Amino acid sequence: MMFLAGCTVGPDFLRPKVETPAAYKEAGDWKPAAPRDTEARGKWWTAFGDAQLDGLMAQVDVSNQGIAAAEAQVRVSAALAEQSRASWWPSLTGQVSRTESKPSSTTGPIVGATTSKRIIDSMPLNASWEADLWGRIRRLVESGDASTKASASDLMNARLSAQATLAQNYFALRSLDSQKTLLDETTAAYAKTLELTKNRYTVGVASRADIVQAESQLASTRSQALDLGVQRAQLEHAIAVLLGTPAGGFTLAPGSLAAAPPPVPATGLPADLLERRPDIAAAERRVEAANAQIGVARAAFFPTATLGATYGYQTATPALWFKHPSLFWSVGPALALTLFDGGRRSAVSDQAMASYDQTVANYRGTVLQAFADVEDNLAASRILEAEAEIQNEAVKSAQQSLDITVNQYKAGIVTYLQVVVAQTQALQAQTTALGIRSRRMAASVLLVKSLGGGW
């Protein structure tokens, strides 16, 4: 029974302490929108109500190569954990061998006597088992299991990151589509203004300079609309990569950015992040794995107990195969202790401790960054919401100013320069409002990601 009993050296795992605020500072009295209770947990993108985005998300989980690599790493970690777990069991090896030998004729009882060649056939079975007296194997298994869980969390994080990146790129592309629509509509309005100016020039109430200025403004706006194509193509290609599709064979038809305010997820409490965010979970599991490695390193300072056994047949006469006279066996324990290794075990133990300290620091840094991510995107959502309300008023005022100025120009009260100023202000106000809408969508997506996904 002494080989079955033992202790486990090294510290048991405890989650590293990290300061957790009682509430999010940026949340304040802000009441988040209610989630869609009918939607499956985790499909957070469905709250945006975009069927095309839903379809793209379904492809990401199947074809994204980053997710595929993370999934393969989970299988690698699981296989390594099974290798450690196999150490609980005895190892059994079989062997069949034939040995031919001819002794020297000068070493026999009578020098010069004739010695014949000897042939010996052997078929042994060898078994060995290490008694885990100090918990070395237990710590190896513990470390392997923790590493597997860390890889599983990495997979969840890779999936969430790919989904969030796709949503960001998709909404950025739709923002460009809306900008293109705005510029096309503005171009059409400028073309009508140019026609009006030409008519006024014909009757002698406008100057040639007014026509040139109108033509310049029209051409500049058309150029801006064309320039958006570069950014749109790049975003389309980025989405294709996320979907695991060649960029040359992927196309998204033009659309528009939703005018409705983006959905806002429930934030919960800061402490919830320690359970929800997959990157925090992965960091914690790596601390656990590093902690177990300390026990593995310390177990090397204690004796290793093994039980070995050999059973088989050995004979020089083929007719005696599997006969009792050819049977041989041996069994017995062995205790081994390294007496001197030049400080190698101490160095391995120091390395394990340093690795543990490193993973603890990484864990705490991940938690702190997680809190900062939530605060950043809560602040962005709150501020952009207020900014959107003000900017919408600015758009209305700029449009009213443009309408009044155009009517005054038709009546000959103001110059064409004032029309140009009013048109430029109206376009800038609309462009800014669209940019704020795009940033609010991005902030909503990033808030979901920083909260660990789900609603």
Residue 1 has pLDDT above 50, yes or no: no
Residue 113 has pLDDT above 60, yes or no: no
Residue type, 304: T
Residue 336 has pLDDT above 50, yes or no: yes
The percent of residues above 90 in pLDDT, for the chain, comes to 61
Q: What is the pLDDT of residues 389-404, one digit of tens each?
A: 999 999 999 999 999 9
Look at 74-88, 152-166, 256-270 and tell me which has the smallest mean pLDDT: 256-270
What was the pLDDT predicted at 427? 95
What was the pLDDT predicted at 2? 38
Q: Where are the domains of the chain?
A: 44-97+134-302+363-450
What was the pLDDT predicted at 211? 93
385 — pLDDT class (breaks 50, 70, 90): very high
Mean of per-residue pLDDT scores for the chain: 88
- 392 φ/ψ sector (left φ>0, alpha ψ -120 to 50, else beta): alpha
26 — pLDDT class (breaks 50, 70, 90): low
Angle between helices 278-299 and 344-410 (to 10 degrees): 170
CA proximity to 43, closest of 58, 33, 30, 31: 58
- Cβ-contact 433, 391 below 8 angstroms: yes
Residue 110 has pLDDT above 70, yes or no: no
5 — pLDDT class (breaks 50, 70, 90): very low
Tokens (6 digits) for 336: 């081994």
Q: What is the pLDDT of residues 39-75, one digit of tens each?
A: 344 789 999 999 999 999 999 989 999 999 999 999 9
Residue 37 has pLDDT above 50, yes or no: no
3-state secondary structure at position 90? coil
| Buried-exposed string 79-88: b where 16+ CB fall within 10 A, e elsewhere | ebbeebeeee
Tokens (6 digits) for 75: 């299988």
- Cβ-contact 270, 27 below 8 angstroms: no
Higher local confidence (pLDDT), 36 or 221: 221
28 — pLDDT class (breaks 50, 70, 90): low
112 — pLDDT class (breaks 50, 70, 90): low
CA proximity to 135, closest of 81, 88, 187: 88
Which distant-in-sequence residues (6+ apart) come within 8 Å of 238 by Cβ? 169
State the fold for domain 44-97+134-302+363-450.
Outer membrane efflux proteins (OEP) (1.20.1600)
Q: How is the chain split among helix, strand and coil, in percent rounded to 5?
A: 60, 10, 30
328 — pLDDT class (breaks 50, 70, 90): confident
CA proximity to 255, closest of 151, 352, 193, 178: 178
Residue type, 9: V
The dihedral over CA atoms of 171, 174, 176, 177, expressed in degrees to the nearest 10, equals 180
DSSP string, 383-419: HHHHHHHHHHHHHHHHHHHHHHHHHHHHTTSS-HHHH
Quote the pTM value. 0.85
Q: What is the pLDDT of residues 262-319, one digit of tens each?
A: 887 777 777 777 778 899 999 999 999 999 999 999 999 999 889 999 988 888 877 7
Q: What is the pLDDT of residues 162-209, one digit of tens each?
A: 999 999 999 999 999 999 999 999 999 999 999 999 998 999 888 899
Tell me the mean pLDDT in the region 85-95: 90
What was the pLDDT predicted at 105? 65
Show the 3-state SS of 165-189.
Answer: HHHHHHHHHHHHHHHHHHHHHHHHH
Tell me the mean pLDDT in the region 77-88: 92
Residue type, 128: S
Q: Is 253 exposed, middle or buried (0-12, 13-18, 19+ CB in 10 A)?
A: exposed
The percent of residues above 70 in pLDDT, for the chain, comes to 92
Q: What is the pLDDT of residues 215-255, one digit of tens each?
A: 999 999 999 999 999 999 999 999 999 999 999 999 999 99
- Cβ-contact 333, 305 below 8 angstroms: yes
